Structures are given as structure tokens and as C-alpha cells.
Structure 1
Amino acid sequence: MWINRLRIYISVACLISTPAYSHELWLEGADYEIAINEKIVSDLKVGQNFQGSTYSFFPDSFQRFDVALAGQVKPVEGRLGNRPAVDINALGEGLNILVYQSNNMIVTYTEFEKFASFVEHKALENALSRHEELEFPKDKFREVYSRYAKSLVGVGNAKGADKAYGLETEIVALKNPYTDDLDDGFDVKVLYQGKPRKNAQVEIYEKKANSEEAAEVFTTTTNDKGIASIDVKPGYVYQLDAVVIRQPAKELAEEKDAVWETLWANMTFATPPS
């Protein structure tokens, strides 16, 4: 028993220490469309390009982990160390949405080039000039970061719609990928503190369903209303990612000894075969 518990703690420690500048966190469904009598099964994963390590259900690692359907919201329940992290009954027929918020985590930069590469990759280049203006150190500094992941699961008729669930930053689907016409794209809105993020980069990871092939990666940008339209293909799985960078609040900065804070919004879903 104690060996299993130790393995769980080691797994979580690895998750907490994963460098923010190079990895996403997402919820990867075993299936994104299921029958009414089937369970919602999803892995909690950390990695790159839709490939990564799988982590266990560990309540001390997250602030929030819910499943939602229309007006219902219920905490995801699981046993300590469960893998997959999600293995639950759906709330009912329709579009069920997994909603996850991690704890605050820390990464320490000892090479400024890695920070510069990260912010450039995520189209957050203004952070570099602010780093200079504020005379933050370059040889060693810390960043606090948190993850905000959602996953869309169609149950039965899969009817329903996504909405904002009050996360500090989140991606909201403006279409239902399982019931709506996607010929003119899959529309999403990117929010920060409940307001649209205009001119925000959305990174898209695209791979064939049930395939081990590497994901194709491309980006788009939200318009003045915080909306982005994404071209999608039938029979594919998608992961969307959008990152906010800011200076942490004074109390958090002092607690974590951090000069930057990043907030990562993520969404996963699939498209039905043609």
C-alpha cells in the first residue's frame, strides 16, 4: 500500500515540476462521443504536440475538477491514484463538459533564452520588453503558472452548448462539434477574467482519431470580439491552447517568489467522421 501511495506522490511531483515553457496540460478522452449507458473516460495528460505522460487522479493537485451538462455541475469523483483520472457516469444525455483548474505551480528559469523562446512561441513578446523595463533578473527567476482545461464529450444525442464556467481564463466553444455544421469552421471565444481576449493567439493541435501519428500544429488569432474560427476535418481530434502572461498579484509574487504568472487555457474535442 505504501509503495503505491509513494508512486502517486512521485507522479504528482513530476506533474507539478513540469516546465511551463514547454508543455501543455489537457484532458484526452478515450472516446469523445459515447452512448448513454457508457462512462466518460478521460486521461489527464501533460506533454507536447498531443503526446505526453498520463497522470493519476489526485485531489491535492487541482482547485476544481467538474463535469457539467446544461445547468448541472458536479465534481468529478475518483479514488486516489485512479488512472485514467476520469472514469465516471455522464450527467445525462447531451453535451457533457469536463472542467479542470490546477493548483498554482512553479517553474524556475536559469536560462533567459528559454523564457524568451517560450513567450515568442506563445506570441507574448511584450513580456520581453516589460522584463527589461522592470529590471527583472535574467540569470535566475521564477514563474507561477496554472492550467484551465476543458473537454467536450457528446453523450447520446450530444445536444447542448458550451458556456463560460467562471475560470480565470478559458476557451468557450460557440458551436457543438457533434451536432452543428462545421463546414465554415469551429468557432470559439477566448476569455480572460470573463472578458473576450482580442488578438490572442490560439494554438491548434490536430490529429486523426485513434492514430499514433504526430499532431499537426498551427495557430490562429482571435478577432476584436475574442472569437477565432478554426478549420476542422471530419474524424479528427483537436486540442486548443491559449496562454495569458501577467505580473502576479503582490501577495502571490511574495509567496512564490515569482516575477511572472502564466495562465493556460485548453480545450479538447473531436469531430464526427464524414
Structure 2
Amino acid sequence: MWINRLRIFASAACLFSAPASAHEMWLEGVNYEIDVDEKIVSNLKVGQNFKGSTYSFFPDSFQRFDIALADQLKPVEGRLGNRPTVDINALGEGLNILLYQSNDMIVTYTEFDKFASFVTHKAFENTLAEHEQLGFPKDKFREVYSRYAKNLIGVGNARGADRSYGLETEIVALENPYTDKLDDGFDVKVLYQGSPRKNAQVEVFEKTADAEDDVRVFTTRTNDDGIATIAVKPDHIYQLDAVVIRQPANALAQEKNAVWETLWANMTFATP
């Protein structure tokens, strides 16, 4: 029993220390469309290009973990160390949504080139000039980061709609991928503190269920209303990622003398 607990704590420690500069965190459904009498099974993963490590259910690692169906909202329940991370009953027939907010975590940079590569990849090139102007160190500095993930699961008729559930940054589906026609793309709205993010980069990861090694990655941007249209294909699985970078605005960042803070919004869904 003690060995199992040590493994759980080690897994959580790896999750805490996973560099924000290198990895996405997402909720990956075992099945994205299920019958009413089936359970919702999903895994919390950290990695790149839809490949990564699976993490156990560990309450000390998150601030919020809920399942939603329209206006219904209920905490996700599980036993310490459960894997799959989520193995629960749906709230009912329709579009069920898993919502996850991690704790704040810290990464320490000792190579400025890695930070420069990260902010350039996430389309925040101006951050490099700001880092210089503010006199922040380049040899060693800290960033605090947090994750905000959603997983769309169609249960039974899968009817319903996503909405904002109050995450500090959040991707909101404006269409239902399981019931709506997506010939003209899949529309989402990117929010930060409840307001639309204009000209925000959305990174898209696309794969088929049986092609783990064939992941297509591309980016798009939101319009003036914070809306991005994702070109999607039938019978694929998608992960969307949108990052906010700001000067630290929380107690942990101040305590750890972090000079930057990143907030990662993520969404996963499938197309029938």
C-alpha cells in the first residue's frame, strides 16, 4: 500500500513539475460518444502532439474538476490514484462536459533560448522585448502556470450546447460537434476573465482514433469577437490550445518571485 502511495505522489510531483514551455495538458476521452448506460471514461494527460503520460486522479493537484450538462454541475468523484483519471456516470443524456482547473505550478528557466522558443511558438514575440525592457534576468527566472481543460462527450442523443463555466481562461464551443453540421468549420470562442480574446492564437492538434503517430498540427486566430473557426474532418479527434501570458497576478507567483505567468486553455472533442 505504501509503495502504491509513493507511486501516486511521484506521479503528482511529475505533473507539478512538467515544464509549461514544452507540454500541453488535456483530457482525452476513451470514447467521445457513448450510450446513456455507459460510463464517461477519460484520462488526464500531459505531453505533446496528442502523445503523453497519463496521470491518476489526485485531488491535491487541482482546484476544480467538474462534470457539466447544460446548467447542471457536479464535482468529479474518484479514489486517490484512480486510473483512468475519470470513470463516472454521465449527468444525463446530452452533451456532457468535463471541466478541469489545475493548481498553480512553477517552472524555472535556466536557458533563455527555451523561453524565447516557447513564447515565439505561442505567438507572444513581444514578450521577449518586454522581458528585456523590464530588466528581468535571463540566466535564471521563474514562470507560474495553470491549466484549464474541457472534454466534450456526447451521451445518447448528445444534444445540448457548451457555455462559459467561469474558468479564468476558457475555450467555449459555439457548435455541438456531435449533432451540428460542421461543413463550414467548428466555431469556438476564446475567453479570458470572461471577455473574448481578440487575435488570439489557437493551436489545433488533429488525429484519427487509430493513428497515434499521425498527428497534424496547425494554428488559426480569433477574430475581433474572440471567435475562431476550426477546419475539421469527419471521424477525427481534436485538441485545441490557447495560451495567455501575463505578468504574475497571484500569490504563488509573488512568493516564488516568478516574472511571468501563463494560463493554458484546452479543449478536446471528436467529430462523428
Q: TM-score, normalised by structure 1?
A: 0.98
Corresponding letter in the other structure for 2:137: P
- The answer on whether the counterparts of 1:185 and 1:230 sit within 8 Å (CA) in structure 2 is yes
Counterparts of 1:119-268 in structure 2 under 5 Å? Answer: 119-249=119-249, 251-268=251-268
Deviations 1:82-129 (A, max 9, x none): 001000000000000000000000000000000000000000111111
Gap runs ≥5 in structure 1: none
AA matched with 1:191: L
Describe how 1:77-156 pairs up with structure 2 within 5 A.
77-156=77-156
- Counterpart CA distance in 1 for 2:182 and 2:222 is 18
Work out whether residues 69 and 94 of structure 2, in 8 Å CA contact, stay in contact via their aligned partners in 1: yes
Partner of 2:63 in structure 1? 63
Amino acid at match of 2:187: D
The one-letter code matched in structure 1 to 2:165 is Y
8 Å Cα contact 1:50/1:214 also seen in 2: no
Deviation of 1:65 after TM superposition, in Å, equals: 0.2
**Map of 2:26 onto structure 1:** 26
Instruction: Check conservation: 1:209, 1:236, Cα contact below 8 A.
Output: yes
Paired with 1:255 and 1:224, the residues of 2 have a C-alpha distance of 36
**For residues 173-231 of structure 1, what are the alpha-carbon distances to aligned partners after superposition, in whole Å with 9 as ceiling and x for unaligned?**
00000000100000000000000000000000000123322310000000000000011
Q: 1:257: Cα distance to partner?
A: 1.6
Question: Structure 1 residues 261, 92: closer, same or farther in 2, change over 3 A?
Answer: same
Do 1:112 and 1:138's aligned partners in 2 also have CA atoms closer than 8 Å?
yes
Question: For the Cα contact (< 8 Å) 1:49–1:214, is it kept in 2?
Answer: no
**How far 1:250 moved relative to its partner?**
6.5
| 4+ residue runs over 4 A deviation | none
Q: Percent identity?
A: 79
Superposition deviation, residue 144 in structure 1: 0.1
Q: Which amino acid aligns with 2:156?
A: G
CA contact (8 A) 1:12 1:58 kept: yes
Partner AA of 2:119 in structure 1: V
Q: Kindly provide the amino acid, as one letter, of the partner of residue 259 in structure 2.
A: V
The one-letter amino acid paired with 1:117 is: S
Q: Check conservation: 2:103, 2:146, Cα contact below 8 A.
A: yes
Answer yes or no: is the 8 Å Cα contact 2:104–2:144 preserved in 1: yes
Task: Find the aligned partners of 1:156 and 1:256 in 2 and give their Cα distance.
Answer: 47
Q: Give the secondary-structure state (helix, strand or coil) at the position aligned to 1:22.
A: coil
Aligned to 2:270: 270
SS at structure 2 position matched to 1:170:
strand
Tell whether the 8 Å contact from 2:112 to 2:138 is kept in structure 1 after alignment. Answer: yes
Matched residues in 2 for 1:125 and 1:72: separation?
Answer: 40
C-alpha displacement of 1:256: 2.1
Aligned partners of 2:253, 2:87: CA distance in 1, in Å?
36
How far, CA to CA, are the matches of 2:253 and 2:77 in structure 1? 32
Equivalent residues of 1:202, 1:242 under 8 A apart: yes
CA distance in 1 between counterparts of 2:145 and 2:271 reads 30
Where structure 2 has 5 or more consecutive residues not aligned to the other structure, the ranges are none
Distance in 2 of aligned mates of 1:254 and 1:218 = 35
Aligned residues: 272
Q: What is the DSSP-based 3-state SS (H/G/I as helix, E as strand, rest coil) of the residue aligned with 1:15?
A: helix
* 2:40 corresponding residue in structure 1: 40
Question: Is the Cα–Cα contact under 8 Å of residues 50 and 212 in structure 2 kept in the other structure?
Answer: no
Of 163-172 and 206-215, more deviation after overlay is shown by 206-215
